[in-house]
Structure 1
Amino acid sequence: MKHHPELSVRFAANIKRTRAAINEQILRDYVRNLGEVVKDIPSENIWNFDESNLTDDPGRKTVIVKCGIKYPEKICSQKSVSIMIAGSAAGDIPPPYVVYRSSHL
């Protein structure tokens, strides 16, 4: 492939069609509705919770295979860690909760 100074080859991140369809008006409507829903709730009673899954990426490897093999596979172990965190509208943040596989903490 010929190199172009303004272009580069990257792996694309996959997102669902429903997420790609979100626009500015949908976000404005959501925030307006949320404000109405929580207007009488004390800020210390409003919490947000999020979870992220972190996985190591052994990366894609280029392999040489026999002609006709469409989907070569490479066996590898992938490790993951889940991190959960919460916070209140009043600014309270409990310590994060981390989940991982281990024989010893």
Structure 2
Amino acid sequence: MKKNRMAFLLIIGGLLFSAYPTYASTPSYAKWGQLAIKTAKEKYPRANIVDYLHIGREDKLHSSVEKFKLWVDDRGQEFGLLIQIEFDPKNDQIIRVHTQKTRN
């Protein structure tokens, strides 16, 4: 009787587990985040990126802007770095990349 009960529980558990996907999906802004990090490393080659935040996306009439804030440690000096990547959403063509250093 215990074997049948255990088999039943394993089958039910397997069905419940398979009903929920266990993979992590890649966010739509991931490639733009990689570009933001690359931009920061090019601008501050000796710096370490301490933290990363996707602020959001702004859709304009003919373009979109992905906004990020990176916290950077450049040889003991820490600061924020706002990075905005403007691109054409039809073909992902980059229009401009804007960076701005912040105090916090």
Say whether the fold is shared (TM-score over 0.5). no
Q: Which one has a larger percent helix, Structure 1 or Structure 2?
A: 2
Q: Which one has a larger percent strand, Structure 1 or Structure 2?
A: 2
Structure with the larger RCO, 1 or 2 (CA within 8 Å, 6+ apart): 1
